[in-house]
Amino acid sequence: MRNKNLAIVAILLAVLTILALPWAASGMIAGPPVGPDDVGEAQGEVISAAIESPEVWFEDFGTGQLVNGQATVTIESIFLETINTDEPYHVFVTPLGDCSGLYVTNKTATSFEVRELGGGTSNVEFDYRIAAKRLEQPEPPVEEGEMSGAPPRSPAPEEESGQSEDVDLGRNLTPAEVEPGPGEDL
């Protein structure tokens, strides 16, 4: 009985997965991911890639060091030429040693500060990641009529056959309906 119940559950999960594929594919992101891009800067062309997201974000990474519990990180000039600092940007920090924790403050168009929590005075190194929106937002490379919405929904099996099977997926089994396996107690 237990193996039969497991087989039924496995079949139901497989059917639900197949039925859910068109729904899962109709997420917010339509079209191919944004690939590497030539971004013009004063120092020359730089190839950069964007985060896969509904919006175009660029990232930069680096390492800094606290001096008596604080550090000012200057955003690299080449990165500044590609991002829109009029829009809020995000900074994530990870300490590389023992400290009371870190936080980011005083974000400006060209720099941000990292400080130790609780007024700490350590000299720990830290990694940072900055994510900011692209300076010039290009239109997505989607052609007319292509990926204009969710993909067509596949018909459910009962729609194809014209008949419907009632399956109660939310039904709870009582202990009497479940046969314990070897060495299992209910």
pLDDT at 131: 94
pLDDT at 54: 80
Q: Report residue 67 as tokens.
A: 């001096």
pLDDT at 80: 92
Indicate the domain borders of the chain: 37-133
- Which tens digits make up the pLDDT trace of 111-149? 999 999 999 999 999 999 999 998 876 555 555 555 545
Residue 50's φ and ψ, nearest 5 degrees, are -105, 155
Q: Report residue 73 as tokens.
A: 């990180």
CATH 2.60.40 fits 37-133, yes or no: yes
Q: Structure pTM?
A: 0.52
Of 12, 27, 57, 30, the closest CA to residue 148 belongs to 30
Tell me whether residue 131 is exposed, middle or buried, using C-beta atoms within 10 angstroms of its C-beta: 0 to 12, 13 to 18, 19 or more. middle
Residue spans of the chain under pLDDT 70: 1-50, 137-186
pLDDT at 14: 56
pLDDT at 22: 47
pLDDT at 55: 81
